[in-house]
Amino acid sequence: MLWLSCSNCGRRPIDEFVFGGEIPRVPDEITGPDERDFDLVWMYDNPDGLTTERWFHLAGCRRWATIRRDTTTDVQVT
Ligand SMILES: [Zn+2]
């Protein structure tokens, strides 16, 4: 069973959450505002390792949580 920590409800099973997507990091070398917006919306890293994601606690407090997760182990990192 995978677990996520909600700031309102504490440690809860991942089945209570809905994945909202990763929060992408735009590379610093992309400087134009239009190019940064394009990269932010359309370019996903799908990293093998640490990532920052949004999860919605549907079966709990019904609020969004920002979670740092290691995709190689599926464990939340604080
Ligand atoms: Zn919650």
Three-state SS for the chain is CCEEEECCCEEEEHHHEEEEEECCCCCCCCCCHHHHHHHHHHCCCCCCCEEEEEEEECCCCCCEEEEEEECCCCEEEC
* Cα 21 to ligand 1 centroid, rounded to whole Å: 17
pLDDT at 27: 87
CA distance 25 to 38: 12
* Cα 35 to ligand 1 centroid, rounded to whole Å: 35
CA distance 4 to 64: 12
pLDDT at 16: 98
Q: Which pLDDT tens digit goes with each residue over 21-75?
A: 888 888 899 999 999 999 888 887 778 899 999 999 999 999 999 999 998 998 8
pLDDT at 32: 95
* Cα 12 to ligand 1 centroid, rounded to whole Å: 8
